[in-house]
Amino acid sequence: MSLDHEPNPRWDCKGCGKDWPCDPAREALLAEYRNQPGQLAMTMCKLMEDATTVLGQHPDDMFERFIAWTKPVPLDVQHPS
């Protein structure tokens, strides 16, 4: 995990220059908050608010970028017998 994938003031990634959160940043956040998915969603909500204000974007356009990917995907569906 690289620590360089952090947002600059214009919400580009310092590490790779893509829109933040880039894929490595998302993976790092998902790993960091893997036991607290609600906390991650709240954190990203606040960041989205900041980014929306700075960039002058509509929140609907920022949802996929900041929030949609925080939803946990079950790796393995359990079938209790």
Which residues are at the interface with Zn ion (CB under 5 A)?
Answer: 5, 13, 15-16, 22
Q: Which is nearer to Zn ion, 4 or 50 (CB)?
A: 4
For Zn ion, give the closer residue by CB, 6 or 41: 6
CB contact at 8 A, 5 and 14:
yes
- The least distance separating Zn ion from the CB of residue 8, rounded to whole angstroms, comes to 10
Q: Which is nearer to Zn ion, 16 or 45 (CB)?
A: 16
Distance separating alpha carbons of residues 28 and 24, to the nearest angstrom: 6
For residues 2 and 42, what is the distance between their CA atoms, to the nearest angstrom?
A: 23
Minimum distance between the CB of residue 11 and Zn ion, rounded to whole angstroms? Answer: 11
What's the closest the beta carbon of residue 71 comes to Zn ion, in angstroms? 21
Residue 74: cis peptide before it, omega within 30 degrees of 0: no
Q: What backbone phi and psi angles, to 5 degrees, belong to 17?
A: 80, 0
